[in-house]
């Protein structure tokens, strides 16, 4: 029988009524003759609450216990959905990650899925199981401890199951009706895309569009999973939502496909570091060891053998980064005259595969921002994206302005 993976995010399972609606949707696919694997998130807000409890209990927490606590929200929704499906006369049961087992690396809180053995489910489906309800976001490490896959990780669970079980499609049900040119909550003009390429979706996700976890897009691209994003609140139809697919399957596309942003960024500058070989490594080694995710890096032109080094990082890692840099200074590994931190910046990016063959996107972007008085602090580019760091208070304005200037409301 054909197989389908259906994933429901936090808002879609926020209470019992919504879980009943989810069960109805699953029932429709079962009636069509699919063997269905459903992946669920925790009820909306639950994971944040659990993370908050861990931080409050133990600021320097044991990552294994963090995962034990934070993974629990998904267990509840998986069990509840299995119960409702059973009430509806469907053969269903719930599975926690370790029961499948979803084998992952040992990188607690950011684990990677390494293997999902299929024999267990294959056997159950052949004996009449109609739906397997899987708790998303979690797995088990080689050491036998519970792991989690990073925030938004249920998307990755869903795609990994679709790949492992050769599902006909992986449907990601969420609280918007597809992938938009930008977050529709920030820009009213945002337009829903019928299709988007894997490459563009990957960039948008890694630059902040949280509609899909980055890793889920990587997996779908690698294992050729038909990935669809759609609303769990609209009427069901076969062509609803957005299909994430290969570039060749898209007829026409704009030079810029979308705008993404990360609101809570910070910028640090080490003023007057020596300009000689080994200095960058001496700065970024201790930051990496402290687990700081450095993003953009710029080094100014040197004068008198000294230069300034600026980099961006998530705002909640500033304290850790400052400690790492100051400790390295005390150990005499680096020297600088001053450390300047700005915790009020945001990153805004434009993304599009059309940039490979079109010049002028960068200048258009910079002109558009200057037209509304926005100062650009840092710029980075790659083949299909341009990112800028700006003051956080201008983030919404920047997104709306770029959306308008690149005419993203038009197909």
Binding site for ligand ADP (CB under 6 A): 9-11, 41, 152, 174-176, 179-180, 182-183, 185, 204, 209-211, 258
Does 27 help bind ligand ASP (rule: CB under 6 A)? no
Compute the residue count for the chain.
Answer: 411
CB of 257 to ligand ADP, least distance (A): 10
Partners of 385 in the β-ladder: 351, 382
CB of 215 to ligand ASP, least distance (A): 11
Does 152 help bind ligand ASP (rule: CB under 6 A)? yes
Question: Closer to ligand ADP at the Cβ: 183 or 203?
Answer: 183
Does 139 help bind ligand ASP (rule: CB under 6 A)? no
The residue assigned the tokens 């980075």 is 380
* Nearest-angstrom CA–CA distance, 386 and 310: 18
Distance of CA 59 to the CA centre of its chain: 24
Options 139, 152, 178, 241; binder of Mg ion; rule CB under 5 A: 152
Helix/strand/coil for 33: coil
Helix/strand/coil for 388: strand
Question: Closer to ligand ADP at the Cβ: 97 or 208?
Answer: 208
Question: Closer to ligand ASP at the Cβ: 185 or 337?
Answer: 185
CB of 205 to ligand ADP, least distance (A): 9
CB of 211 to ligand ADP, least distance (A): 4
CB of 123 to ligand ADP, least distance (A): 30
> Which does residue 241 touch among ligand ADP, Mg ion, ligand ASP, none (CB within 5 to 8 A, set by kind)?
none
The size of the interface with Mg ion (CB under 5 A), counted in residues, is 2
Does 10 help bind ligand ASP (rule: CB under 6 A)? yes
Question: Closer to ligand ASP at the Cβ: 49 or 115?
Answer: 49
Distance of CA 128 to the CA centre of its chain: 35
User: What would you report as the CA-atom Rg of the chain, rounded to the nearest whole angstrom?
Assistant: 23
CB of 155 to Mg ion, least distance (A): 6
The residue assigned the tokens 């609101």 is 263
Cβ atoms of residues 406 and 385 within 8 Å:
no
Considering only residues 59-88, where is the footprint of ligand ASP by CB under 6 A? 73
Cβ atoms of residues 369 and 388 within 8 Å:
yes
By the 10 Å C-beta count (0-12 exposed, 13-18 middle, 19+ buried), 241 is classed as buried
Options 151, 192, 263, 306; binder of ligand ASP; rule CB under 6 A: 151
* Nearest-angstrom CA–CA distance, 14 and 3: 26
Options 11, 12, 47, 109; binder of ligand ASP; rule CB under 6 A: 47
Helix/strand/coil for 389: strand
Cβ atoms of residues 293 and 370 within 8 Å:
no
CB of 313 to ligand ASP, least distance (A): 20
Quick one: three-class SS letters along 295-357?
CCEEECCCECCEEEEEEEEEHHHHHHHHHHHHHHHHCCCCCCCEEEEEEEEEEEEEECHHHHC
Q: DSSP for 128-168? A: T--EEEEETTEEE-TTS-EEE--TTTHHHHHHHHHHHTT-S
Question: Closer to Mg ion at the Cβ: 136 or 286?
Answer: 136
Does 97 help bind Mg ion (rule: CB under 5 A)? no
> Which does residue 137 touch among ligand ADP, ligand ASP, Mg ion, none (CB within 5 to 8 A, set by kind)?
ligand ASP
CB of 58 to ligand ADP, least distance (A): 26
CB of 51 to ligand ASP, least distance (A): 9
Binding site for Mg ion (CB under 5 A): 9, 152
Residues binding ligand ASP (CB under 6 A): 9-10, 41-42, 47, 73, 136-137, 151-155
């Amino acid at each position: 029988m054909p197989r389908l993976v259906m994933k429901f995010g936090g808002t879609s399972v926020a209470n019992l009524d919504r879980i009943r609606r989810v069960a109805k949707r699953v029932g429709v696919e079962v009636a069509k003759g699919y063997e269905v694997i459903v992946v669920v998130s925790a009820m909306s807000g639950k994971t944040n609450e659990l993370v908050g409890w861990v931080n409050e209990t133990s600021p320097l927490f044991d990552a294994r216990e963090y995962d034990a606590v934070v993974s629990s929200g998904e267990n509840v929704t998986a069990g509840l959905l299995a119960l409702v499906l059973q009430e509806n006369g469907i053969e269903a049961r719930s599975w926690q990650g370790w029961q499948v087992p979803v084998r992952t690396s040992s990188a607690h809180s950011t684990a990677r899925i390494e293997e999902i053995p299929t024999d267990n489910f294959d056997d159950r489906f052949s004996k009449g199981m109609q739906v397997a309800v899987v708790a998303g976001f979690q797995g088990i490490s080689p050491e036998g401890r519970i792991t989690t896959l990073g925030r938004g990780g249920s998307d990755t669970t869903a795609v990994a199951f679709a790949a492992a079980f050769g599902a006909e499609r992986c449907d990601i049900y969420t609280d918007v009706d597809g992938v938009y040119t930008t977050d529709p909550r920030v820009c009213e003009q945002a337009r829903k895309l019928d299709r988007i390429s894997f490459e563009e979706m990957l960039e948008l996700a890694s630059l902040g569009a949280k509609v899909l976890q980055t890793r889920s897009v990587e997996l779908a691209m690698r294992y050729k999973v038909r990935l669809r994003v759609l609303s769990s609140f609209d009427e069901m139809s076969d062509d609803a939502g957005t299909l994430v697919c290969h570039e060749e399957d898209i007829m026409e596309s704009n030079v810029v496909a979308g705008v993404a942003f990360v609101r809570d960024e910070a910028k640090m500058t080490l003023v007057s570091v020596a300009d000689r070989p080994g200095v960058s490594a001496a700065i970024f080694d201790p930051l990496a060891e402290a687990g700081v995710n450095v993003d953009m890096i710029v080094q100014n032109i040197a004068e008198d053998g000294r230069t300034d080094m600026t980099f961006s990082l998530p705002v909640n890692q500033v304290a850790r980064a400052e400690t790492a840099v100051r400790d390295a200074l005390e150990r005499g590994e680096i020297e600088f005259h001053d450390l300047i931190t700005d915790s009020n910046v945001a990153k805004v990016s434009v993304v599009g595969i059309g940039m490979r063959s079109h010049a002028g996107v960068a200048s258009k972007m910079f002109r558009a921002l200057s037209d509304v008085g926005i100062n650009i602090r840092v710029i980075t580019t790659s083949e299909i994206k341009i990112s800028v760091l700006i003051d956080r208070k201008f983030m919404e304005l920047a997104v709306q302005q770029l959306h308008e200037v690149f005419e993203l409301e038009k197909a």
